[in-house]
A and B are shown apart, each in its own frame.
Chain A
């Protein structure tokens, strides 16, 4: 390859950007034919093409030779990853949904635990996993980090939207007392089971027959308290209006609460009639109590990120985001997102054209190239002003008030920059145009954290719903 000092012809300017693409077979047939026809008659472009072809070959040759050598040098011959390893990793990360698994047969239950404790232990493992995920998400969000699947940079101190906040307040008032009341009832059950043989799964009729029924009286008060708390929660769940994104969790909480009511009622009936067998019946093992762990854990994590995420100014500047699971935001958030998708996204998608036009001017420093950029700048300014007008009358959800204000501020800065650039173009001052454009990078960067925060969705609850100890969830 050599420095090329041949003089380009006027037509070369149009073909120059296409030469690298031709060298990489990235043009369609008609384009390639047109470029090849020009190159055939142009010494300058022939030299350019030769350079690009040499670079392409060098990349390919170097990659093949060196990467083969590097694989060998690292001593880790491929394949390095096995299906078993992937499945193990998936098993580890999918521990939480195990609370919904069917119970194992008695012979697989741990002999040292009662069935009830076994379920509680499973629930503990499940919620521990959920809470760890929640904690990690919150930490990542706090530090502006990103998980492998997407970027999360929510503001931890932001407030929930009113509907979510009301729902969380209801849970704090009625779910937490139930979780607290569950613990004494659970302890009483354990204290009663232990002396009788320890494992309800293998409890024999003879053990039940020889147990003094009077021991049941000690459990009456805790079970009554548990039942009362469950009934109160059930009543308020029935009249509550959960946000759209928590409908599934709401249904799960109702199901779990009804199960606790059913079990506590049966236990209370056994206590009243001094019927130990009824109190210890398999139906009283409160498997369903473990179902609280997942919805409460999910609510603690907070609403999910946007799907699909809003585009950043240029993917290369802020970094791309992976697709994230589909989520349904609350109506206020959805309306705000829709507005941004309508008015912000076009601004982003045309930004790359401006950048490319700028690069051309930067390289050539030609007045005519700068003047050719004017329509792009005028269109962009119109788009940005339209977005600014829309945002001025928008009603963002409570949790995005900060981002809304920051976005308007960033847009105002963008309008100022674009206006100055247009003035430079109209003044036919290339240097002023380039200097102003170089300064706009800071303005671009100010968009990145805002969009990342919006993409991350509303933040996790703060403080988190608790009382997992009494449910043996943590």
Chain B
């Protein structure tokens, strides 16, 4: 295999290693939130970094000397999103059916100093509401709220127009709120937290 470090434009192995270390955690969490399985998420993220390695060898932007960190991050999340959606399509699951991103790990539930019970109740209702969202809507919310991407960046990652990304963000949040309120209104849901 050619050593990418031989070209002045090529990203060094050290730089690639830095990207790997910096982003893999967030990528695994992001993909896991969509596919609902940690092992699958790790496989899909490995594919992302394999593609990134090939791009590095071909000196394809953004994997070149002086690579823009935002561009690299966008590229990685775009590839991860596509892999996750592709995996869901293989399963025939476009609309996310499991609790996924917020699978119960109650045994490991960290107890905050205050509001423990409130958080449990809030979490149950929130996860139930999130489970009603389609994967692209869930991805939008996560990219914005947790990863801090701008709507323009989200548009690039989802391969949609910026105005469409904003509409999807707005729609996802409105749907989440409606679903959350419906959870609260459902008798026996246990989500009575105000």
Which residues of A come within 8 Å of B, CB atoms? Answer: 1-3, 17-18, 20-21, 23-24, 26, 51-52, 55-56, 58-63, 65-74, 76, 78-83, 85-87, 89-91, 93-94, 145-146, 148-149, 151, 315-317, 319-322, 349, 352, 356, 359
Contact = CB atoms under 8 A, between A and B. Distances in A.
Contacts of B193: 1
A349 to B, nearest CB: 7
Given A26-B166, A58-B122, A68 B173 contact: no
B144 A89 contact: no
B173 A24 contact: yes
Given A3-B184, A70-B105, A146-B89, A320 B82 contact: yes
Interface string B91-135: 000100000011101011110100000010011001100100010
A66 B108 CA distance: 8
Nearest to A21: B170
Given A79-B25, A89-B46, A315-B158, 13 more contacts: A1-B193, A3-B185, A20-B169, A52-B177, A62-B127, A65-B109, A67-B29, A70-B38, A74-B38, A83-B17, A146-B89, A148-B51, A322-B82
Given A52-B177, A320-B158, A78 B86 contact: no
Interface string B73-94: 0000001011101101110001
B63 interface: no
Contacts of A18: 170
Contact of B38 (A17, A76, A148, A317): A76
* List of 7 A-B pairs having minimum Cβ-Cβ separation, nearest first: A20-B173, A69-B108, A316-B136, A78-B25, A322-B82, A20-B170, A148-B47
Nearest to B193: A1
Identify the interface centre among A1, A79, A148, A317: most chain B CB within 10 Å of its CB: A148
Contacts of B45: 81
Interface in B153-194: 158-161, 164, 166-174, 176-177, 180-181, 184-185, 193-194
B173 A52 contact: yes
B159 A68 contact: no
Contacts of A79: 20-21, 24-25
Nearest to A48: B177
Given A26-B151, A146-B86, A352-B160, A93 B25 contact: no
Contact of B89 (A74, A319, A352): A319
B13 interface: yes
Contacts of A74: 38
Contacts of A26: 144, 150-151, 166, 169
B38 A69 contact: no
Nearest to A91: B1
B159 A55 contact: no
B80 to A, nearest CB: 10
B167 A81 contact: no
Contact of A319 (B94, B119, B171): B94
B89 to A, nearest CB: 5
Contacts of A58: 122-123, 126
Contacts of B160: 315-316, 352
B106 to A, nearest CB: 9
Nearest to B126: A58
Contacts of A62: 102, 119, 122-123, 126-127
A87 B1 contact: yes
Contact of B194 (A1, A21, A23): A1
Contacts of B49: 81, 86
Contact of A55 (B1, B107, B173): B173
A6 to B, nearest CB: 14
B1 A94 contact: yes
A69 B105 CA distance: 7
B134 A316 contact: yes
Nearest to B161: A349
